[in-house]
Amino acid sequence: MPVNTERKDFADMKVKWARLRDCIGGRDAILKAGVKYVPLLPAKDLVENEDYRRRGSFYNATKRTVEGMMGSIFQEAPEVEFPEDMKPYLDDITLGNVPFEMFAQTTGNEVMLIGRFGVLVDMSSVPSIDNRPYCIGYLAEDIVNWKTSRLQGAEVLTMLVLRESIEQTVPTDPFISEVIEQYRELRLVDGKCIVQLWRPKSEKEKNVFVHHGTPVTLNRRGEALPFIPFVFICASNATSVLEEPPLIDLADVNLGHWRNSVDYEYGLHLVALPTPWVAGARASGADSSPLPIGPSKVWELDIQGSAGMLEFSGEGLGALVTAMNEKKKQMATLGARLLEDSAIVPETASAVTMRHAGEHASLRTVAQSVELGFTLVLRIVAWWMGNEALPQDTEVGVELNKDYLNVKASPQDIQAALAALQAEEISYETWWNILVTGGWGREGIDADAEVEAIEKRRKEREKNKPKPPPQSFPPRKPGYQEPPPPEPGV
């Protein structure tokens, strides 16, 4: 089989990935797909069908949902535990001026949308002073083939084929570049990771791939790598197993909403303006030219003739509006919380938490999966540059934000907590934690620091307190008693 042979499960999943890519691409991508998502009209006129689709309005719920969810995960920078002397490498993890945080966001977007992303850790075989490992990201569609085997009780990746795009200059013109496909094959042979590149055989045989260059054995400090340095990052795990994209149901409803919109706009186009009609024979002697219409035009009809204006009536278009609104609600239920109407009545923090429980469970799953994937990636990077025996021996960790509900405590909640503090039913530390988590206190300040700030402020007030005016008479001697008031009439 040729090197570009795709696994069957991969080929089946590509159909779903294509729908998701078209949705995230917006209206232009949907229109480019042609009749893929909107059936042809009965007339099957190509021009009319093109106009029919172009009148539709695509409500991009899929893209908004991905952006909203990723905004929740990356509203705070990832916390990375990495060897101190290697941390500068995180400022350019790809050797293409891409910092770790940006690379992690790209990965998170792909995992949330497609449910799959891959990261290859590589290192140039050409010795140099600044030579170091770097990361390469691969879309799900470019991880075309793989194979795993159980070795020493563990499931190990033993074969991997990655599709790459290479830009090269046309031999006949140095000012023109073309993009060609290249395949990178990685195999684990006798405990050694060997890499082989494949490129088209010739300009005429672009679909026939042959070896490009000689095989290269990846090594670390003169020893061959005993594993393939590639990490799969999926929506709920970090394995090679294909899984359903998290937002595929949302994308399908989004496309259904698009079809309803196309029909609705087409219906409006047909019935927007009243249309004149004529029944019966025209008066004798009248010519057969089209009847002009206007305030100064007269139609001469026979006695049996009649005329009028066609105007739309009925519930046809209203049914389409109802269908579109129902699909919006479905998309909100499936995860597009940014499309959901605000609650009419005020909601408590617990009610908001319960309403968003399903959505945030999936968000946390994606965040945990990306955490695990990048922990494995950075372990390989640190191990390749360090002295540890195994990647898992390195002190590396990644943590993403998983607190997605910033619900401010209500004044009633604060009053209840204050009453508990005054009744000595809770400690000051607990009281301060309630203020901070409820959005009423300063983040990063603990209870002790707050007490010190309060005491410092009290001393400043005492210092700046105005002194009482001096007395106009000398102070009384010790033992002095005021004389009794005089008796009446004396």
Whether residue 118 contacts residue 184, with contact meaning beta carbons closer than 8 Å, is answered with no
Report pLDDT digits (tens) over 393-418: 999 999 998 776 555 677 888 888 88
At 317 the pLDDT is 83
Which DSSP string corresponds to 73-120?
Answer: HTSSPPEEE--GGGGGGGGGTTSSS--HHHHHHHHHHHHHHTSEEEEE
At 184 the pLDDT is 96
Q: pTM of the full predicted structure?
A: 0.75
Query: Region 153-157: what's the mean pLDDT?
Result: 88
H helices of 26-91, where? 27-32, 46-54, 61-73
- pLDDT of 58 above 50: yes
Q: Does residue 176 or residue 125 have the better pLDDT? A: 176
- pLDDT of 336 above 50: no
At 472 the pLDDT is 59
Report pLDDT digits (tens) over 166-179: 888 888 888 888 88
Ranking 13-17, 143-147, 177-181, 331-335 by mean pLDDT, the lowest is 331-335
> Looking at this protein, which amino acid is placed at residue 238?
A
H helices of 334-469, where? 349-355, 357-385, 411-422, 428-437, 447-463
> Looking at this protein, which amino acid is placed at residue 115?
G
pLDDT band at 423 (very low <50, low <70, confident <90, very high): confident
- Judging by DSSP bridges, how do beta strands 116-122 and 134-139 pair with one another? antiparallel
What is the SS3 assignment for 176-202?
EEEEEEEEEEEEEECCEEEEEEEEECC
CA 123: distance to chain centroid?
30
At 382 the pLDDT is 94
pLDDT band at 490 (very low <50, low <70, confident <90, very high): low
CA 105: distance to chain centroid?
8
Q: Residues 384, 387, 393, 396: what is their CA dihedral angle, to the nearest 10 degrees?
A: -60
Whether residue 197 contacts residue 183, with contact meaning beta carbons closer than 8 Å, is answered with yes
Report pLDDT digits (tens) over 228-272: 999 999 998 888 999 899 899 999 999 999 999 998 888 888 777
pLDDT band at 340 (very low <50, low <70, confident <90, very high): very low
